[in-house]
Amino acid sequence: MRIAVIVTTYNRPDALAAVLDGYLAQDTREFELIIADDGSTADTRRLIEDYARRAPFASRHVWQEDRGFRPAAIRNRALAASAADYVIFSDGDCVPPHQFVSRHRTLAERGYFLAGNRILLSRRFTVEVLQRRLPIHDWSTGRWLAAWMRRDVNRALPLLALPEGAFRKRAPQRWEGVKTCNLSAWRSDLIAVNGLDESYSGWGLEDSDLVIRLLRAGIRHKSARFAAPVFHLWHPENDRSRLPDNQRRLADILASRRTAAVIGINQYL
pLDDT digit string (tens) for 50-95?
999 999 999 999 999 999 999 999 999 999 999 999 999 999 999 9
Task: Answer whether 87's CB lies under 8 Å from 185's CB.
Answer: yes
The burial of 200, by beta-carbon neighbours within 10 Å (0-12 exposed, 13-18 middle, 19 or more buried), is given as buried
> pLDDT at residue 238 above 80?
no
What pLDDT does residue 161 have? 92
Which CATH number do you get for residue 75? 3.90.550.10
Residue 60 has phi, psi (to 5 degrees) of -145, 160
pLDDT digit string (tens) for 186-222?
999 999 999 999 999 888 899 999 999 999 999 999 9
Is the entire prediction scored with pTM above 0.75? yes
Mean pLDDT of 219-234: 97
* Beta-carbon count within 10 A of 62 CB: 19
At 239, the pLDDT band (50, 70, 90 cuts) reads: confident
Amino acid at 8: T
pLDDT digit string (tens) for 242-256?
888 899 999 999 999
What pLDDT does residue 242 have? 80
Count how many domains the chain has.
1
Domain around 93:
3-267
> pLDDT at residue 166 above 90?
yes
What pLDDT does residue 236 have? 87
pLDDT digit string (tens) for 108-124?
999 999 999 999 999 99
Amino acid at 137: H
Q: In angstroms, what CA-CA distances link 84 with 123, 214, 268?
A: 36, 18, 16
Q: In angstroms, what CA-CA distances link 48 with 19, 23, 95, 96, 172?
A: 11, 12, 16, 17, 37
- Determine the Cα–Cα distance for residues 70 and 224; give it in Å rounded to an integer: 26
At 237, the pLDDT band (50, 70, 90 cuts) reads: confident
> pLDDT at residue 223 above 80?
yes
What pLDDT does residue 201 have? 82
Supply the mean pLDDT for the chain: 96
